[in-house]
Amino acid sequence: MSFNSIDFLLFFPFVLLVYWFLPRRTQNLFLLGASYFFLCYIHLWFGALIFLVTAVNYGCSIAITRWPEKKKSFLVLALLICLGVLAYFKYASFFLENIIALLNNFGIPFSQPVLAIMLPVGISFYTFQAIAYTIDVYRGDTQPCYDMIDFALFISFFPQLVAGPIERSRVLMPQIRSSRHVSPEQFQQGLLLLIWGLFKKLVIADNTGLIAFKVFSLTDPSFFLLWSGVFAFGIQILADFWSYTDMARGSALLLGFKLSRNFDHPYFARSPADFWRRWHMTLSYWLRDYIYIPLGGSHVDSSFRRGANIMITFLLSGLWHGASWNFILWGAYHGVLVLLNRVGEKLFSPIRILLPNQLHFPLLMFKILGTFILINIGWLLFRETEIQSLWHYFQLTPWSATAQDNQIARYLFSLTFLYSLPVFLHGLLYFWDKNRRGSRNNYAKDLLLLRPILAACLLLGVLILRSPESATFIYFQF
């Protein structure tokens, strides 16, 4: 079930209406049933798979505290089952294809068996959430949950089930265990997040997605035409994923839950490292806490080890996104960017201190624009799954295009920029809003009056500007 579907429009108000008439304990049981219905609405066996992950981590986390002398064995068991499930459903076909190709290259004939494995929706998100919980129990950072209903709801809470954010137990579990209420301000904020998310999906993401699809459908696009499509995809994937997060947060707020932010205006990032502090933040923190730091992080002796830790983390980030070589290349590309950024910071930090104040703002704009360009180069690696096509695209030159192609490219750039304006204006408004928040006593009152106006404008925009075709959320495939 998708947030932008008629089915959800019928499902969520019904859940909301029944939910608020129930006591807390019954609320959790009802939400658990609604979450399983939300997932099983797509395929019934999806529910059996998430129940397996839930049962394994519930049992192993309790066993870790009851038999501490064997806690490592229980952690390994939970990791093997969770990662095994994820590897089978997400990576089995990929590894089998590459092994067969390798055998054929060495002259060993081997035909590929028919292996059609359907990727369960949300599996990358809820397995990572479950793994983080069990590791936290193992480390002693959190106490295990003995209530099976509460724990099952923690793993399957439907607003963030399919595409995150990936919540930690210390954030979501206390809210599940406590009584909940919604203030008028939270209710308005939740509705506005839902409507803003719907606008970003139906107006920005779906319209720019059509532009990207048309460009990448061309047999041999010229240089500027190709990069107009990459720019469109960069806006599409931001608006598409961010819209899901906002709609998840909005839905959760109306149910009395506060989910973590997953985006902090990543296209205003000043460096590749800053981009990853702003993009898919809950995944970035997960990779930092459960991959990068356990590897030694930056607290190892040799610079080679520090660089290797960064590259391993980003390679796994790329592989998490999909079972394809282009995602691995995308992860490696970002790892190299972060390494080069660290070297550049060390080399140029003394020079930056000596710069006059008048040059600080132009330098900031240059860093933001440069980071944006580098991120979009990465989006080409992300979007194009065929390695041969990628090699061809990076060989294109600006002067090989015809005047007609360049004119079409300028039109597509301009059209994408117009669709992207609300996202960038929202970023500017956000920074202005942060500065204004503490400067006026009647800020909250003004905000309560402003939100209904914004919601009405966004709904009008959806009715007038929505794309004729609506695609599924991009991160549903991860």
Residues written for the chain: 478
Set 181, 265, 280, 321: catalytic member? 321
The answer for residues whose C-beta is within 8 angstroms of residue 108's C-beta and 6 or more apart is none
Query: How far is the C-alpha of 437 from the C-alpha of 431, rounded, in Å?
Result: 10
- What CA–CA distance (Å, rounded) separates 246 from 126? 18
Who's near 80: CB < 8 A, 6+ residues apart?
A: none
Which residue type sits at 254?
A: L
181 catalytically annotated:
no
Cα torsion through 178, 179, 184, 185, rounded to 10: 0
Residue 264 burial (10 A CB sphere; 0-12, 13-18, 19+): middle
Contacting residues for 191 by C-beta, under 8 A, at least 6 apart: 250, 254, 451, 455
**CB count in 10 Å sphere of residue 218:** 12
Cα 95 from Cα 86, distance rounded (Å): 13
Give the end-to-end CA distance of the chain in Å, rounded to a whole number: 16
Cβ-count burial 44-54 (b if 16+ within 10 Å, e if not): eebbebbeebb
Collapsing DSSP states into helix, strand and coil, what is residue 23? coil
Per-position b or e across 9-25, b if 16+ CB within 10 A of its CB: eebbeebeeebeeeeee
Residue 257: phi, psi to the nearest 5?
Answer: -110, 150
Under 8 Å between Cβ of 474 and 3: no
Could you say which DSSP state residue 182 is in?
A: -
d(CA 87, CA 188): 41
Q: Hey, is 355 helix, strand or coil? A: coil
> Mind giving me the DSSP string for 399-427?
GGS-HHHHHHHHHHHHHHHHHHHHHHHHH
Active site residues: 321
